[in-house]
Structure 1
């Protein structure tokens, strides 16, 4: 059990935002950098820890659970996209009450090619479980899967940030509605019979109910790929009336954790590999003594059913909102150092936040003061319609200062033109990283693959003007475009799109080939090389100024393709200077080096490797430049 008190606005773990003007923030770590591996004999391995939370007398405004993954010490990161659960097992100490409330669901990444220093973190709001996260709590991290456990796994940390203060709504009770794996598409086990209506009795003083749902689809039947790879809808019924309907589906091409070793770009049934699931929340008025709740899945039958919908749904009954006008900053997206916002950062313009209406009245207008620390603030007047409990992502005009304190501040004022009743979460400041600075003349080097119809790019300035572009649908296959860019001083954004969601290369789509995207200076030196395996888009923000950043000697463009082959694969290499390059072909598992090649004074070229003599297996294609690993890609030979 570990408990850490961070007073007021100390810097949070995981490079979190800073809240100013709030009460104390308590950070509690239940699982502290534990090594997590599979148990192949059972398909699941559990790790339970006790943690001490505040007592019932302590008012809690908000609870955020944070999950951090890294490669374990003396092991490599694990391979497969397995299903993990974070569960409250027991409350009230060792003799306390068994609970089994799933508060988080994690899908592990395809980590086979991650380097030993790799790490990533996610977070989810778990304030709805504040009635249970009190006193001594037993928390379980359950890791599923069957892969080997002697040389691979994860280093996992589970922590909670508790923000003290009066909650926007006071919870009264929490009730389990559904909790299990439900067969889907099996006419012998119809899911409608399993997801029966559940009746609940209204608590005294309850004004609002919240249905909190974690749902993911698993299994792959024929011919539809259910439940992992089929797009089906789910209805939420209250008292037999439809309240909401949504597709149980998630697009994965914009996953902030990229690239991964497996099929990370494939859209799935409400999850992606390397993903902490965000719950669906449905709020409704409690207007009578008894109500019924039901979830219903789209009608579906499979001739070979193996699909399952994994659903954990809980009802939390709340008292009425404490205040009429109460708005909060939930998150800062731009600028940010958070891993989950890394596709959009570092940034030069367009500060972006998430706001939430925590008041009883609909929010229709709001004033947002924002700007870099030490500078005059900007005022943005937001208008819209947010019902109680709803959130909105707000992007504002304005530059983000690239020198000085590198701290950006946001303050919410005058919700609905009135005084905010709870100002403790109206002010947030974040530290951020500056964007690179380049010279005015640049060259965008774009080599298309065999599917160029999905690709296009734009360069825009801070006012949103498109200065250069090649529209989607205009590019030619296997063609090199070298566009000269003449830019004045200012802030810019390069966006490279792939509407097919598979980047300029993807190992599974061998026939599509491989393309490249590189930003060069006027002398042809690489200032930025982009990973071709990027999914749906790349966003690169930069500044043009009088003093460009020095050219990094280790800025290299390289890649091997195809990575699934029966015979040949090709390695492309381009660097700013001649380098000593060592290439090793390493068998997986086992780590045996089956080929090794040393190239001295290697600056540019394409190398061919004949792998036809090797048996069916997986290998790592590992590249060292000046004795440092710069590339580690998995090859599938004859698979």
Structure 2
């Protein structure tokens, strides 16, 4: 074979690979790091190249003649496409009929798989706590979950409100949720393992059968042999007060995640609630809390667990909810509303 022919074969292959490579529009990603920790919608400019999918547009959420504490909708996401970033915009407004709910209420945005089955799978997309009697708007990064947001899916919004039109403590909320898909080289997780979707765990009970470990039994998950990075995305918020140490809203707690016996500890306490730009609110919005602030989204923690995972095999995982010192929480002066933690945990696998 002469040299010109050889050169043509070599460089022709490279040129063919280049020509077959996907071409993406030149569009900037949103800087979520700069928007942390409040992730407000202020200054958000959605590029014209983006695909925007609306799940809810000023949908009423309240409790009264109707129970609209949880609403759901069938949402048509793109069937195909490469996305370098996916954002979720969550907006609360006061109802047209009257003022917003006066209280700080926990809430969750969820993807519900197999919604018509007896045991649907709930994957939490966002955790938020409403402000006292005000609206809010936040925009967060959900890119790792992009692979799940294809075709027709069920999206649900839950707000733990107990007021509705005509109530002395407000009329509820109006909820808007949009998904923003930014085209580009895919950055999503190759696999998402939903460990716990949206769990309510009572803390402070030490009797056998009622402990945190009794409620959160050890689980196992498999990791493919070709995985290059594995993250655990853990979100916890503590609720109720007046119990021992004022738990679980106003006491400092820690999360001990163990993977194959290797410990990863996170401390969800928020010490910046008074800096919340959704202000001034009514109530005690300035007080720091266990994993959240009124009028803010709780994005949780992404923990790199790659080195603790055995690739191509089954792995064990446990989670414990403890006092900041690492000791077990014993609620010796309980009130009617026992302290509890709302939690979700997902595993992101990248290849």
TM range (shorter): 0.7 to 0.9
The one of 37, 51, 56 equivalent to 1:31 is 56
Q: CA deviation at 1:250?
A: 4.3
1:145-160 paired onto structure 2 within 5 Å: 145-150=161-166, 152-160=171-179
Matched, 1:50 2:69: no
- Any idea what the Cα deviations from partners look like across 1:555-600, whole Å, max 9, x if unmatched? xxxxxxxxxxxxxxxxxxxxxxxxxxxxxxxxxxxxxxxxxxxxxx
1:50-129 paired onto structure 2 within 5 Å: 50-55=74-79, 57-90=80-113, 98-111=120-133, 119-129=135-145
- How has the CA–CA distance of structure 1 residues 74 and 194 changed in structure 2, closer, same or farther, with 3 Å as cutoff? closer
**1:9, 1:18 within 8 Å by CA — same for their partners in 2?**
no
CA distance in 2, matches of 1:158, 1:64: 10
**Matching residue of 1:263:** 284
CA distance in 2, matches of 1:84, 1:72: 17
**Matching residue of 1:304:** 333
CA distance in 1, matches of 2:155, 2:189: 23
- How has the CA–CA distance of structure 1 residues 122 and 170 changed in structure 2, closer, same or farther, with 3 Å as cutoff? closer
CA distance in 2, matches of 1:46, 1:254: 30
**Matching residue of 1:522:** none
**Matching residue of 1:215:** 236
Question: Match of 1:79, SS?
Answer: coil
Q: CA RMSD for the aligned pairs? A: 2.9
**Matching residue of 1:597:** none
CA distance in 2, matches of 1:186, 1:69: 35
Q: Which has the higher contact order (CA 8 A, sep 6+)?
A: 2
Q: CA deviation at 1:9?
A: 6.2
Aligned length: 300
Q: CA deviation at 1:219?
A: 1.4
- How has the CA–CA distance of structure 1 residues 49 and 179 changed in structure 2, closer, same or farther, with 3 Å as cutoff? closer
Q: CA deviation at 1:214?
A: 1.6
Q: CA deviation at 1:165?
A: 1.8
* Structure whose alpha-carbon radius of gyration is higher: 1
Q: CA deviation at 1:103?
A: 1.0
Matched, 1:232 2:242: no
TM-score norm. by structure 1 comes to 0.44
User: What are the ranges of 5 or more consecutive residues in structure 2 without an aligned counterpart?
Assistant: 1-24, 31-40, 323-327
- How has the CA–CA distance of structure 1 residues 120 and 178 changed in structure 2, closer, same or farther, with 3 Å as cutoff? closer
User: What are the ranges of 5 or more consecutive residues in structure 1 without an aligned counterpart?
Assistant: 1-6, 320-639
**Matching residue of 1:183:** 202
Q: CA deviation at 1:41?
A: 8.8
The one of 155, 159, 171 equivalent to 1:143 is 159
Question: Match of 1:131, SS?
Answer: helix
CA distance in 2, matches of 1:252, 1:132: 33
Q: CA deviation at 1:231?
A: 0.8
TM-score norm. by structure 2 comes to 0.77
Matched, 1:16 2:37: no
Structure 1 or 2: larger helix share? 2
CA distance in 2, matches of 1:170, 1:41: 38
Question: Match of 2:275, SS?
Answer: coil
